[in-house]
A and B are shown apart, each in its own frame.
Chain A
């Protein structure tokens, strides 16, 4: 009796420590985001005071109205959705196929080819801007979405991630059994591997989507026409030469981030669903 009570108080303390840890971590993570929101509700002058205001002000609607007056917010959001979704779907598919091959299939030069993929990650990408742009001009892809989407499908990180996950999460016996049943390699991928590694899909999906959504350097270089702008590119046109209206800029930035949270929650749901399904199977 006393022993179990002892155990109970121990778990309560443990729980309290964990909650404290998570709460502090969450608040530290939340703070700049909250501040972004605060700035989106303030006038420029309030933002520029020192120390700046910590609580939301009254200009939430006014600032967003200014954003809408100065850029095609929803049009560029549609562009962003299209580009980011295309990249995410493409990357998930291509990387899981390649990851599966490296994790479970036997072929000559496997180790070597995999090392090549890892080595491509080690090259600092910053200097590639001009030659890459040159390729795009030669393909006449300037001002087209494929200029952003197609290079976005190259994702060594995703292949590595999928390989690591599939290697351990998918039992070899399961694959052997399917082979004996006469399944093709692609069928095994589609019916066995893919459903088993849904958490890995969800995680990679989140990461790739966020990256594609927030990327601006490359889209800025190749998407020049206003009608082709993604959100991050269009948001930059809110910058004046010298006089920045931070209230307006932060409003645009904040509302451009909100869809990401929705996407995150969607993937998170997939993540949790995949767990309960996995539990049933095992």
Chain B
């Protein structure tokens, strides 16, 4: 009995040791920037001036700014249009790439992963050309066949949101596919074989084997993709430029613009705090939901 207690202590000590690098490194390099941002939210600072304490004024600024609400709205819309479909398509792609029926799997895998490594500069140029405002622009030209007038893709409200969503989807779907693919490796092939013998269709295989067995990976992807969507920044920046028009500005883009375009670090920090709480609430709901689904499944 005593021995096992000692062993427990020993295991715990080893575990603390194993996880300590993260906490030590974070304490040195992550904690100070975080606390600094929190502190700044109550000050007025342009990066070069002296800091002046302003109390809650920065929060008043952002809560009375219509663009801040636009930014929240945009983040959710682009998240739903650009990120949510990735999860479904990612699973399907991973399933196809994992299937033993398919030849040239490595070729397909490499190609699907390419958007993740393609330079963002190239992506920006290409999306700019495809979604050009000109009548001769790629998409506008196609639309003209259907009698649709030219669209200003980087000015008009919905076109801006849709274009950014497409860009997000395109850049990240391959990435999530690769993660799902890894998750699928721990599903024994024998399960599929057995299902096939029982005459299960592909759809049934996905629904009854892949998805339940993939639960930890799905939780992981939903969690990280949600945070990724709520912190979306690069795509709006490269598509809209530093001016980040209100039609496509996201929450992180909003605080970035405040900080590095307007040199208003105080309001940027205030916005960062609000964003942080929004992320916590959304991921909290997320975890509750995934647990719920998990439990109902188990109950069944």
Contact = CB atoms under 8 A, between A and B. Distances in A.
A217 to B, nearest CB: 10
Interface in B9-23: 10-12, 14-16, 18-19, 21-23
A138 B15 CA distance: 32
Contacts of B227: 121-122
Contacts of A130: 47, 265
A169 B216 CA distance: 10
Contacts, number: 245
Contact of B113 (A186, A199, A256, A264): A264
B122 interface: yes
A95 B241 CA distance: 36
B22 A94 contact: yes
A181 interface: no
A126 B272 CA distance: 9
Contact of A132 (B18, B29, B256, B272): B29
Interface in B84-116: 92-93, 96-97, 99, 101-102, 106-116
A199 B174 contact: no
A34 to B, nearest CB: 9
Interface in A112-137: 113, 116-124, 126-128, 130-132, 135
Given A51-B129, A165-B182, A117 B118 contact: no
Contacts of B256: 126
Interface residues of A, number: 94
A31 B123 CA distance: 10
Chain B at the A interface: mostly helix, strand, loop or mixed? helix
Nearest to B109: A268
B152 interface: no
A32 B10 CA distance: 53
Interface of B: 8, 10-12, 14-16, 18-19, 21-23, 25-26, 28-30, 32-34, 36-37, 40, 47, 92-93, 96-97, 99, 101-102, 106-119, 121-123, 125-126, 129, 134, 136, 138, 170, 174-175, 178-179, 181-183, 185-186, 188-189, 202, 215-217, 219-220, 223-224, 227, 231, 233, 251-252, 255-256, 259, 265, 268-269, 272, 275-276, 279-280, 283
18 contacts: A14-B101, A22-B108, A27-B111, A29-B112, A29-B113, A30-B111, A32-B123, A39-B125, A105-B15, A105-B18, A106-B12, A130-B265, A135-B33, A154-B29, A161-B179, A206-B113, A278-B185, A279-B189
Interface of A: 11, 14-15, 18-19, 21-22, 25-33, 35-36, 39, 50-52, 94, 97-98, 100-102, 105-108, 110, 113, 116-124, 126-128, 130-132, 135, 150-151, 153-157, 159-161, 164-165, 167-169, 185-186, 199-200, 202-203, 206-207, 210, 214, 246, 249-250, 253-254, 256-257, 260-261, 264-265, 268, 271-272, 274-275, 278-279, 282
Given A126-B256, A150-B25, A164-B219, 10 more contacts: A15-B102, A21-B96, A35-B126, A97-B19, A120-B30, A127-B255, A154-B26, A199-B182, A199-B185, A257-B119
